[in-house]
Amino acid sequence: MTPSRQEDAEVPGAAKPFAPGTPLRAAFPLLAASDERGEGLAYLDNAATTQKPACVLDAADAFYRSDCANPHRSTHRLARRATEALESARAELARFAGADANEIVLTSGATHALNLAAFGYGATALKPGDEIVVSLLEHHSNLVPWQAVARITGARLVPLVPDRAGRISDAEVDRTIGPRTRIVAVTATSNVLGCAPPVERIARAARACGAVVVLDCAQSVAHEPLDVRALDVDFAAFSGHKMYGPMGTGVLYGRRELLERTAPLLRGGGMVDRVFEQAATFDEAPCGLEAGTQNVAGAAGMAEAARFLSRIGFDAVRAHERALTRRMVEGLAALPSVKLYGPGPNDRDERHGIVAFNVRGVDAAATAQVLDRRGVAVRAGTHCAQPLLRHLGTDAVCRASVGVYNDEGDVDRFLEAAENAQREAVALMTSAML
């Protein structure tokens, strides 16, 4: 995949992630290397974490080499540059999400962000008898915190249930979201099936009953443009490490009037206004929700990742990843030994870069190990979505997921490995018993 002429346009203040005409994979140092067999890794575990382009690594490294100081503290030049780096990153991430900078809270990831929305807002806004609607497609990070909030407040958790293909019908939305609904927590893209719930339809139903919408964008942010205004959501969370940025970085977007009503999840230095022996007052959001020393290098790297994606352009990202996903689904569907989960082969465009499958008669973990022996990286397990897997009638699945640097060669290596996985897994188990 190479960027188009439009996507080569300069982004002010951004490092160049790649030269025009250069294969995108070359921008990623880890993937540019070959193994001992002279082969590159077919990395198809992007839903777990993405690899990092050189420009992101350079942005984080540059902060430590040139601007390392504590932001929003001292007045010396390094501290001023650190503050500028942090707030510049916030502004870039706000632009990326379609928000204002004062609506962006910098976190350690989507899990941190969702917990802040749940305990900072939900735990103070809910009362007994209120309902929290949570889809069955959710990652545990957008379920487990709401379970705790329901226990604390006396609210009731109500599941929004998809069919076996991962689709949530209009009838299910109308049945589930009603007069008692106060919060709706939903993913933008399932991290298991890759399907996208009807977020705009869900948001309209929530609006009609005065409910707040919390959107988990961790799996969509690297694949689809994010516009929180157009989606009409109240909170949105995403992680840096799933969008080619550093680990330990993330964002909580909050509608301004709701952020002002959100209590800090963590308390301490850097977020207080006045402190007395028995009480304290806090700064306004977002800084009042960011206790402690912030990960400035990580924020700079995450902002660079946002610029990196913007330079490629999401039209190009979607076209590239859709073609790879189609190739993967069609190839797996042709293998009698493979069972696919989620949308059917004829609905392959409903999968946003993620394919869940199992090899018949082979444990998911064993399948992943066999693929790893062939230089193909996928993930196996429950994917932090145990209620969904029970709904699908399985204990674990393998998951292959694509990114901007993957190509047809990666997919073909994966398909060849999957085709032989049943035979090779049996051979491995047999040798282990001897």
Task: Indicate the burial class of 251 (C-beta count within 10 angstroms; 0-12, 13-18, 19 or more).
Answer: buried
Rounded Cα distance between 48 and 126, Å, is 32
Q: Quick one: which H or E segment has residue 324?
A: helix 314-333
Rounded Cα distance between 261 and 64, Å, is 35
100-124 in b/e burial notation, b at 16+ Cβ within 10 A? eebbbbbbbbbbbbbbbbbbbbbbe
**Per the structure block, which two tokens stand in for 2?**
């190479």
Within 232-390, strands assigned E span: 235-239, 250-254, 272-275, 280-282, 338-341, 354-359, 376-377, 379-381
Rounded Cα distance between 22 and 45, Å, is 23
Q: What is the DSSP letter of 83?
A: H
**Per the structure block, which two tokens stand in for 25?**
């994979």
Q: What is the DSSP letter of 355?
A: E
Question: Is 384 designated active site?
Answer: yes
**Per the structure block, which two tokens stand in for 27?**
């921008």
Task: Indicate the burial class of 310 (C-beta count within 10 angstroms; 0-12, 13-18, 19 or more).
Answer: middle
Q: Between vectors from CA 135 to CA 134 and to CA 141, what angle results, nearest 5°?
A: 70
Evaluate whether 259 touches 283 at the Cβ level (below 8 Å).
no
Computed over its alpha carbons, how large is the radius of gyration of the chain?
A: 22
Evaluate whether 79 touches 69 at the Cβ level (below 8 Å).
yes
Q: What is the DSSP letter of 186?
A: E
Measuring CA to CA, how many Å separate 408 from each of 70, 84, 268, 281, 402? 45, 42, 50, 56, 11
**Per the structure block, which two tokens stand in for 414?**
């994966």
Which one is catalytic: 55, 68, 287, 384? 384
Catalytic site positions:
384
